[in-house]
Amino acid sequence: MNLPENALQLRIYVGESDRWNHRPLYEAIVLEARTQRLAGATVLKCPMGFGASSHVHTAKILQLSGDLPMLVEIIDVREKIEAFLPLLKEMIGGGLITLQEVKVVHYGPGKEASHSSDEG
């Protein structure tokens, strides 16, 4: 799959304890993005943050939270991201979704993935 230079970055901010169909929400988003054949998705576990409720979630030992912020990033062409948004809005209760135009400088499989395809 190729990505054009001009693409969209979708950022989804949810809580670690958020669920969708008995699975962590961040995991469900990534799996659904893969099913929809989006270019890729990355999940980042954030050590601290707060959102609309202003409740601070932190990984500090004295203030340990069981619901750390999770960030899912997806980059693809506008059409595919916009087609994914209705399902995403259905999946997310609380949280934040943002879109930003990005310039793709490089996109391709890692060396191990490209070598393994040469062997077979």
- For the domain that residue 78 is a member of, what is the CATH number? 3.30.70.120
User: Cα separation of 7 and 100, whole Å?
Assistant: 9
Q: Residue 92 has what pLDDT? A: 94
Q: Is 86 a domain residue?
A: yes
Instruction: State which residues form the domain around 89.
Output: 6-119
Classify residue 62: in a domain, yes or no.
yes
**What per-residue confidence (pLDDT) applies to 54?**
67
Are 95 and 10 spatial neighbours (Cβ–Cβ below 8 Å)? no
User: Alpha helix (H) ranges present in 1-120?
Assistant: 25-35, 78-91, 111-119
Is the entire prediction scored with pTM above 0.75?
yes
Residue 90, in any domain of the structure:
yes
Q: Domain for residue 35, yes or no?
A: yes
Number of residues written out for the chain: 120
**Helix, strand, or coil (residue 62):** helix
Residue 60's pLDDT is 60
Number of domains in the chain: 1
Answer yes or no: is 1 within a domain.
no
